[in-house]
Amino acid sequence: MKYKAIVTDYVWPNLDIERSILSENEIDLVDCKSMSREEILSESTDADAIIFCFADVDAELLEKAKKCKVASRYGIGVDNIDIKKCTELGIVVTNIPDYCLEEVADHAIGMILNLNRRITEHWDLVRNGRWHELNLDIPVLRLSEATLGIVGFGRIGKTIAQRMSSFGVKIIASDPILKPGEIINNVKIVNFDQLLGQSDFITVHVPLMEDTHHLFSKPEFSIMKNNAILINCARGGLINEKEASLALKNNEIGGVGLDVIEEMSGNPSSPLFESNNVIITPHTAFFSKSSNEELQKRTAQEVVRVINSKQPENFINPEVINNSRLKLV
């Protein structure tokens, strides 16, 4: 083979899709999933491409990969790669931002419906022999009388709005790049505090950055309705889970649904594990058979584009173009 690509990690059964696409373009694929950190560093020294999922692609790895032209992320978020270092070294960074819009939207909506209807809570009663202990003195809202607030009105936010409109829910959204008062796809844009105070359900779809870390913490919970349900299928650090647990305990909010938590490495843990009216899934909102195959295919195709001196479809660091290790057209 003429080129080499290493795959640091993945969570699906095999790399057959990637291997087929890459081999057709003279790119040998090396599966590093079971390798130690030292072995991955060694494999990176002559790699032309790094394909990664949840692994940290840090400065040490990037500096070892002296031939690397492209780092292609399986997925949307790029908070686990040193983009500044990539740009400095001339490495193109890509992602796949739109492969799982329907899946994430459906997951968030499923959590809203479950938590509002107390489905998991009531199932726990039944399976523990407590059928007759049902308590109906709890807030369960009629959807057509509820307000959904969407924080981050991008691709996923708009998909959720489209789907939830069928339930007759009033929908508002907040996004720093959109002007309050605008109406987009029948959704009114409001400022963040207005959304907190007006929403019965809040779903969060923003990237994790310095200014969004703990976007939801004690001050935000104090503004929210005391029966509000908060959903996060984006990044764990967006919610202060310790304060969320206290807010639930003190009846300041009504429920929390998470597909991500702050501590997901090693033995994942969260104060919310012990809280009531909480659903937590292990970062699976992205998944369906179709979305996963699309992700594998398009991630490999981005590598091929860059290796063939073409700009990727999804260019995370376009400022690298003047000093990239390959001249891109």
Residue 86 CA: distances (Å) to CA of 7, 52, 72, 128, 323: 17, 14, 12, 53, 11
- Which pair of tokens denotes residue 104? 């994430």
- The per-residue pLDDT for range 232-268, each reduced to its tens digit, is 999 999 999 999 999 999 999 999 999 999 998 778 8
What's this model's pTM, rounded to 2 decimal places?
0.89
Mean pLDDT, residues 201-217 taken together: 96
Q: Where do we find the tokens 């057709």?
A: 24
All domains of the chain, ordered by start, with CATH? 3-97+289-322 (3.40.50.720), 101-280 (3.40.50.720)
Q: What residues are annotated to the active site?
A: 235, 263, 283
| Residue 91 neighbours by CB distance under 10 Å | 27
Percent of the chain's residues with pLDDT above 90:
94
